[in-house]
Copies of this chain bind each other. A is one copy, B any other.
Amino acid sequence: MRAKVEVFLKPGVLDVQGKAIEGALHGLGFAEVDHVRVGKTISFDLGDGADRGAAEARVKAMCDGLLANAVIESYRVEIA
């Protein structure tokens, strides 16, 4: 099984990286770009032992413990 975790800043938290990218894209002539948000994607293999539900619970524990900062970030887990 492979897990994919997407970590994004919560709406309302200033995304400075996104603002920088937006400014750079405007400077390159892509004036239609707006509301840029930048996130992290972390993908990894899990053992084949556990079932899907258990794997998802483990990955959520990883997110809460290490991968995401719950104060300012939200995450989405996909197991494939």
- Taking Cβ atoms with an 8 Å cutoff, the residues of A that contact B are 6, 8, 18, 21-22, 24-25, 28, 30, 32-47, 49-50, 58, 61-62, 65-67
Given A24-B66, A62-B28, A66-B25, A35 contacting B40 (CB threshold 8 A): no
Whether B58 lies near A30 (C-beta < 8 A) is yes
Whether A45 lies near B66 (C-beta < 8 A) is no
> Which residues on B sit within 8 Å (CB–CB) of A38?
40-42
Minimum C-beta distance from A8 to chain B (A): 7
The CB with the most chain B CB atoms within 10 A, among A22, A49, A66, is that of A66
A25 and B38 CA atoms in complex are apart in Å by: 23
Whether A45 lies near B34 (C-beta < 8 A) is yes
